[in-house]
Amino acid sequence: MKATAAQTHSAPTWNTLAIVVGAADSPYLPTTLAALAAQTAAPEHVLIAALGQQPRESELRQIATEAGLSPEDITVVPAPGARTFGAAVRRALTESGFDPVTDGTADGRTRRWLWLLHDDSAPEPVALAELLGAVEGSRAIAIAGVKQVDWDAPDRLISVGISATFDGQRFTGIEDGEIDQGQHDAREDVYAVGTAGMLIDATLWRALRGPDPALGPFLDGRDLCRRARLAGHRVVVVPRAVVRHARSGYFGLREVDGSRTEEPRAQEPRRSFRARRRAILHVRLTQVPAVLMPLVAIAAIVAAPVRAIWRVATKELELAGEEFIALGVLGHPRAISAARRRGGATRKLPYRRLRPLQASWWEVWRLRRDRRRQAVAERRAARAPSELEMAERAAVALRRRLTLGTVLVVVVALSLLTMAPVAFSGALTGGALLPVDGTFAQVWDAALASWIGTGDGHPGPPDPFLGLLGLLSLVTGGPLGTPMRISIAALLVAAMPLAALGGWFAAGTASRSVLLRAWAALAWALGPPLLLALGHGRLGAVIAHLALPFVALGVMRALGLDRRDVVISGMVGAQRVSPRSSERDGVLSGEAKRARLAALADPEVADPGAEPADDGGPVTEADGAEDITATERASAPDGSTDRSATAEDDVEVTSEASPVADGPARPSTSRLDDWDSDDLPVIVSNTSGDYVPDDEPEAATVITRTSNVGSLGAAAAAGLAFTIACAGAPVLLPAGILALALLALALGRRKRLAVGRKRLVFVALPALVVLGPLLSHALATAGDGGWRLIFADPGVPFASDPGPAWLTLLAWPASPTSVPFLDGTAATVLPLIASGTVLAAAVLALFRGAGRARAIRIAWLLVAVGVLSAAVSVRVPVAIGRALGTDTDVVVQGWAGPGTSLVLLGLLAATLAAADGLKGSLGQVSFGWRQPAAVAATVIVVAGLVCSATLWTTRVLAERSGAEPAGLVQVAARTAEPVPALGLEVQRPPQGARVLALTPTESGLDAQLWRGDGPQLTETATAVALGGLVRVESADDLAAPEVLDAADADLGGLVAALATGTATDAATALATHAVAVVVVPAVDANASGVLADPTERSRLIALLDSVRGLDRVTENDSGVIWRVNLGDGSTDASIARAQVTDTTGAVLAIVPSTGVTAAGRITADGSGRTLVLAERADPSWRAWVGGQPLRSVDAGWRQAFSIPDGAVGTIEVRYEHALHMPWRVVTIVVLALTVLLALPTRRRRLEDT
């Protein structure tokens, strides 16, 4: 019997009507209908609301009939447009004729009940009887609920009634997985019950008009019960009425139209988070007093980003966006108003009557505390090791610590011997390095500014390398006053130990052998890219070299490709087999042991004793185990792999285990009944034969295998490390992105890959954002050669000889320095031995078995990327600078150091991937040529490291003693303070004046404008250096005016006039560049980076003494000093960076300057006033007086603004690039989210959110 409308169906008399809402393809519906048919007190009729776009009514009727329901007692009503449970019930009642509003069959004295069931809520046989028995006891009871238990585990409680806090949080008072022992059966009156199994008075349903149409499938039952309570009715829970509930909606397994999708494989409530969050916000807005609604809405808007940030910190990225999407509830004021009117229309009791039934904050806090304690106890119980395992872990940990400690002692000693004396000798200069005398705040101002404060200033992108200096100052106590020279010295001294530490951790992802990891750590710490970068003062390359191992570590762990140790108890999977029976069966005990360990270590075989390390953190239990391969891969005749043997690239055994062999088949002791009486096993006395001892005692075993556990936090950490590396060496950005793309392609469709490759985006994204201004500037000026900016090395342009191209394969970025105690070819070849052994080992790795081929090929792809990067870098001119051993200007090409760091990383990765497990493999074969070859190779690679350390130390000490000319180490302490006290005084606010340093050399006169205590590393910029090279390249004649811009041309003409004694108004010309002091450095001064010629210096001093407007002050360690005198009445404060002048050019006021900005108060004195900056003119300069913007005017190469007559107030000057502030915001957001992702946090429970 089927009906679709009240006009075509005459409803039978009924007192209890069961309403089931579901779709025909629901896997739970047959069970639910069968449970409904088995009720001891059956309902008079069953109404089925068919969901889905194609309800399939006939199929539903057939399912109900097969479940045991009578066809005459079934009515199927299609509800294809119903989006909520309440809407489906309302439509079913209306269209079937059972609607209490239109059904007039009741006599008015008998109460009629609606029993609501979901398709995934199967009631126990006595459920309806218990519900009806409970409601018959009192006519005040209008709603009765059931005890909900888990569908698959009926002894696990879900809810026994529901409560809520004042702000609407759900509270059941039941812990996760709590066993039903009747402990909650005393509950009766409750705040609310769920709609699954709810028995509700039909009259009340009619009065309340069902649940709120805006709710469902979440909180609709709570809304209905709350309104029933406020209408004067009781809501009770009947614990003896039990319903098994699968909670399909909670696990997000329903389509929008209510149809099922697939069987749930794991409990994943995140799928329904948006619907639950929207329901909570809707309920809060509908239940609070009207005056508080705006506050609740504002609180939801403010809380959304905070909650989203927390979701990011807990690695729940899919929920971060849902927090904002859920705010869409605020865009439906009509639904909120309708719900409030609906609740007010039936309310008879005050809201305070609900307070005794609501949960207190104390109860919520106590339940959450108990849940945390329970989770901690469960984790401890799951990880509790046996005594054998603890002993093995302690032994392995001790071996690991001793090895790592030895490595660190060696590299610390080398660093203290070679770098510490130079690093802590004072402010360092030389090579690519300059001092940094600014404070922590000044360093960050320079890092974030889009105006480069060098000379007369230049527009350009913020240098990410300066951000690294700010971070270095932060971690070394810069905010507390630690000078930057101490921070730089600490970096240079700690570079080798930090490199060794990074190499150790990165090597651990490829091999767990402490010896291999120690070798890799030393090879990385003594690698040519790092040693040459330290000697040449290339701080960016040093930092990039330190960061690269952590990039590799994070990428491997992010993809679940890292190797981890697993401690297995010796008793796991063991069975007692005598050595004689083992040997009699043709299986040696050692082989049987390895076979058992291989089976235990197989990722596709259950591993009850395994304890892999936690996701995302360092593996500490068995970090440095010895390598013994368990078994070689066994292949069937058809070529398929035998999974009973473990591939050598997956498993290593690192400790001994008990001998176990596959003896003759015998039945389990639990199956003795299967034996015939004649075949019962004979129990042989253990004293019947000679005693044969076991091969070895039972012990815990350490096996090594690929983790197959991806980590989003590790991907974010790799992104941070990659950002640091790219900030130190921008060439690593394209190289790194290319390497990531090749890695994603090389992984292919590997089924064993734990996670998708999309998370590699998190590795590249932060670097792209941080280097965004640099990239945009390179692209905008690509037509003029600006693309070469990516290949420029941060710091002072310093040229070095790259040597032959094949040196890059040996990880040498430049030609090696000769050995002091050797001559001829041997002096230059000997330094190549260490890296040559690494290259040879990586080449031999290509012949390793197929099990390691993929990892080795990927490592060689990284080598190829490094070679390409180094080869391109050394062929791209990026600046005009100085070279080793000369004071003349030369064209500087990019440095190959970052590329060769990638080469060395790839070579070490290939070697580790191939060598991992070789010790065990050699133990499987008879003694032959392989064992001596392995010993010889070990001796060679160790000798290579010893040779590298010895040669580096010997050369550094020889140069320091003067026995050899400076070549390897170009860094030295600054000989004297370059700027005298007078110059430092005028450089400070409010003047912000500058010092002109003139150094005569054999090739000409070197002129430099100093804003600080001599040249500063914070004033260097690759964009400025490249711009100067581009102008030189574009000029046909180097003496042509277009080689210099207007500011440089003006300063160049002034310097030429000073050098020839022809300057007529030198003081005024110097003042236009804000020069208040002129200094000629001492002969032995090295601050300017060039050496003065004594003869030319004397001649220049004599000429400057004769220049009008220059008053000689004194001569000291800084050199000879002159004060710029503008004439009568002028003082040292008459020259400043920002000045207000009148129509005659007279200075009316000085605007105090701090860095790039300037701000101060001006009066209304003067007419035709102009604000003039001693900075290059640029459209991005902005100025305001009293908040009103000023108009930019032409003042030659200088930036100037017209000040209206009579304007008074605070004048402000800033450089504001249009895209600078948006970039800052995006960078802060991206970096903050990346840091949150990288933090090790646990996911929170989602049921109550």
Q: What pLDDT does residue 1242 have?
A: 60
Count other Cβ atoms within 10 Å, centred on residue 351.
Answer: 13
pLDDT tens per residue across span 969-1028: 999 999 889 999 999 999 998 899 999 999 998 888 999 999 999 999 999 999 999 998
326 pLDDT above the threshold of 60: yes
CA 64/CA 42 separation, integer angstroms: 14
In b/e form, how buried is each residue of 900-933, taking b as 16+ CB within 10 angstroms?
bbbbbbbbbbbbbbbbbbbbbbbeeeeeeeeeee
Phi-psi group of 1168: left, alpha or beta (phi > 0 → left; psi -120 to 50 → alpha; rest → beta): left
Q: What pLDDT does residue 391 have?
A: 79
CA 799/CA 793 separation, integer angstroms: 10
Q: What pLDDT does residue 264 have?
A: 53
Binned at pLDDT 50, 70 and 90, residue 499 comes out as: very high
pLDDT tens per residue across span 876-905: 999 999 887 677 789 999 999 999 999 999
Helix axes 833-845, 850-873, angle to 10 degrees: 140
500 pLDDT above the threshold of 90: yes
Strand partners, 770: none
Domains of the chain: 7-250+350-372 (3.90.550.60), 419-562+709-961 (no CATH), 975-1134 (no CATH), 1138-1222 (2.60.40)
Q: What pLDDT does residue 677 have?
A: 39
268 pLDDT above the threshold of 90: no
585 pLDDT above the threshold of 50: no
> Which DSSP letter does residue 352 get?
G
Query: Rg of the chain over CA atoms, in angstroms?
Result: 40
50 pLDDT above the threshold of 50: yes
| 991 contacts 1000 by C-beta, under 8 angstroms | no
600 pLDDT above the threshold of 90: no
Percent of the chain with pLDDT over 90: 50
| 917 contacts 598 by C-beta, under 8 angstroms | no
- Residue 630 vs residue 25, higher pLDDT: 25
* Mean pLDDT lowest among 563-567, 716-720, 721-725, 1049-1053: 563-567
Q: What pLDDT does residue 672 have?
A: 35
Secondary structure E strands in 1135-1239: 1138-1141, 1147-1150, 1153-1154, 1157-1162, 1170-1176, 1181-1185, 1188-1189, 1191-1195, 1198-1202, 1209-1215
Q: Name 593's Cβ contacts closer than 8 Å, sequence gap at least 6.
A: 657, 658, 659, 660
* Mean pLDDT lowest among 648-652, 779-783, 1038-1042: 648-652
| 211 contacts 86 by C-beta, under 8 angstroms | yes
682 pLDDT above the threshold of 60: no
Backbone angles phi, psi at 1155, to 5 degrees: 70, -125
Percent of the chain with pLDDT over 70: 83
As a three-state string, the secondary structure of 444-474 is HHHHHCCEECCCCCEECCCCHHHHHHHHHHH
| 179 contacts 53 by C-beta, under 8 angstroms | no
- Residue 99 vs residue 1029, higher pLDDT: 1029
CA 667/CA 994 separation, integer angstroms: 94
Count other Cβ atoms within 10 Å, centred on residue 162.
Answer: 24
Q: What pLDDT does residue 1247 have?
A: 45
Q: DSSP per residue over 674-728, as a string? A: GS-GGGPPP---TTSS-----SS----EEEEEE-----HHHHHHHHHHHHHHHHH
692 pLDDT above the threshold of 70: no
Q: What are 759's two structure tokens?
A: 């998370």
Q: What pLDDT does residue 100 have?
A: 65
Torsion of CA 1055, 1058, 1060, 1061, to 10 degrees: 160
| 1032 contacts 1089 by C-beta, under 8 angstroms | no
H or E segment and range at residue 443: helix 440-448
Backbone angles phi, psi at 453, to 5 degrees: -85, 70
650 pLDDT above the threshold of 70: no
Residue matched to tokens 């888990």: 150
Give the mean pLDDT of 775-788.
91
- 763 to 710, 767, 866, 1231: CA distances (angstroms): 14, 8, 18, 12
Q: What pLDDT does residue 687 have?
A: 44
Q: What pLDDT does residue 647 have?
A: 39
Give the mean pLDDT of 197-213.
92
* Mean pLDDT lowest among 370-384, 565-579, 1103-1117, 1190-1204: 565-579
Give the mean pLDDT of 767-778.
94
Strongest mean pLDDT among 613-622, 631-640, 1133-1142: 1133-1142
Binned at pLDDT 50, 70 and 90, residue 94 comes out as: confident
- Residue 491 vs residue 22, higher pLDDT: 491
Q: What are 1233's two structure tokens?
A: 């989210």
CA 1241/CA 1236 separation, integer angstroms: 9
pLDDT, averaged across the chain: 83
CA 262/CA 808 separation, integer angstroms: 55
Number of H helices, E strands in the chain: 37, 39
pLDDT tens per residue across span 518-542: 999 999 999 999 999 999 999 999 9
* β 157-160/16-22 pair status: unpaired
| 527 contacts 545 by C-beta, under 8 angstroms | yes
Residue matched to tokens 């101490």: 486
Binned at pLDDT 50, 70 and 90, residue 12 comes out as: low
Give the mean pLDDT of 1165-1171.
89
Residue matched to tokens 């500011």: 1047
Q: What pLDDT does residue 262 have?
A: 54
939 pLDDT above the threshold of 70: yes
Phi-psi group of 272: left, alpha or beta (phi > 0 → left; psi -120 to 50 → alpha; rest → beta): alpha
pTM across the whole model = 0.83
pLDDT tens per residue across span 805-838: 999 999 999 988 877 766 767 777 888 888 899 9
CA 94/CA 104 separation, integer angstroms: 13
* Mean pLDDT lowest among 546-560, 947-961, 1201-1215: 947-961
Count other Cβ atoms within 10 Å, centred on residue 689.
Answer: 10
